[in-house]
Amino acid sequence: MTFAPAPIPSRTQYVLEAIKHAILTAQLRPGQALVETELAAQFGVSKTPVREALKTLAGTGLVVMSQYKGVTVRLVDATMAREVYDVRLLLEPEALRRSVNRKASLEAAQEALERADSALDKADRSLANRDFHRALYLPCGNPLLARMLDEVRDQAALVSTVAWSAVPSWEREAAEHREILRLALADDAEAAAGALHHHIASFVRRAFPDDEDGGGAA
């Protein structure tokens, strides 16, 4: 039996994934300008796939396109962080509760947790943590719910990248991940959902605390 070779990713997809990875691993910083000609030269492509990739990234909320400033990596502030994490608080614990109640396999979450624990740098750790959370909600049985969480996934990762740069609290988050997975594997849907809710809420409170003086958080 012969198998057809896997399709080669398009130039646009290649550029898209490269820029996204650079943003989510802090190689490209919030507010940094993304110049089409420079990116095209860097990736050895024409400006067209770069332009299309940037449009897609604007749609996911990772970059901002302005008539006057051009394209920049999205800035993260307390308001943006709380909006994104509010959506996660509303949807993600419920999705995990459904995943557990459906007796869905959480093997992918276990694998992602192990990758995070053995990560050599914060970039690999961040990507593994993203995979961990997705592995909890993806088998919830409601594709629309999973897609809604996927839509804020990149923005949530950008928030955590910025937060970790200021307060490197990944060891605490890793311990919370292990407890969430332990409860889920024990088929305790309510406790697992509650632990996940606390995990998400406490992270954004630590990273972007309320500023009673009105100065805001960066």
Of 167 and 95, the structure prediction assigns the larger pLDDT to 95
* Cα–Cα distance measured from residue 35 to residue 29, given in angstroms and rounded to the nearest whole number: 14
Integer distance in angstroms from the first to the last C-alpha of the chain? 57
For the chain, give the longest Cα–Cα distance: 69
pLDDT at 69: 84
**pLDDT tens readout for residues 140-197:** 999 999 999 999 999 998 998 888 777 667 788 899 999 999 999 999 999 999 999 9
Domain 78-207: CATH architecture, name and number where available = Up-down Bundle (1.20)
pTM: 0.82
CA-wise closest residue to 184 among 129, 176, 119: 176
CA angle 64, 207, 124 (to 5 degrees): 70
Domain 11-73: CATH architecture, name and number where available = Orthogonal Bundle (1.10)
Q: Which residues are CB-neighbours of 33 under 8 A, at least 6 positions away?
A: 69, 70, 71, 72
**pLDDT tens readout for residues 23-39:** 988 889 999 999 999 99
Span 78-86, average pLDDT? 93
Question: Domain spans of the chain?
Answer: 11-73, 78-207
